[in-house]
Amino acid sequence: MLQEVNKADYESCNADHPFHNWTTEPGRDVVPLNVTRNYYFISGRGFCYGGMKVAVRVENRPPPPTSAQLTEKSDSSSSPIVYIGQLVLPANFIIAALWDAFTRIWYFQN
């Protein structure tokens, strides 16, 4: 049972008042991270105390660089530009992997 909670409940592993309960088939939960904000997810079956929780920060992409910034970057040492918005898809895979691991552990213990 994957639950979205607030920061205080995330830190204390309190699943009493979730914002949303993301439970479908084992390991098949999909959580849309399409709003710029912090997300806090915990296992609602007590596995949170063992570390089954994840916090995700979703940010907007920065504006595209202007031509002056591109010229300035090409003159200086080249460092890669990383867009935070591109982390949404990997974050979904992380959440899915954690959920899959959680459901496998729970299934084999019951």
User: Per residue of the chain (110 residues), what is the pLDDT tens digit?
Assistant: 789 999 999 999 999 989 988 776 666 777 888 889 999 999 877 889 988 899 999 988 888 877 766 666 555 555 555 555 555 556 666 777 777 777 777 666 66
Please compute Rg for the chain using Cα positions: 18
Q: Which fold has domain 2-109?
A: Immunoglobulin-like (2.60.40)
Question: What percent of the chain is helix, strand and coil (3-state, nearest 5)?
Answer: 40, 15, 45
Q: For residues 10 and 24, is the Cβ–Cβ distance under 8 A? A: no
Can you give the residue ranges of every domain in the chain? 2-109
Phi-psi domain of 27 (left: phi exceeds 0; alpha: psi -120 through 50; beta: other)? left
Name the phi and psi angles at 48, rounded to 5.
-60, -40
Prediction pTM value: 0.56
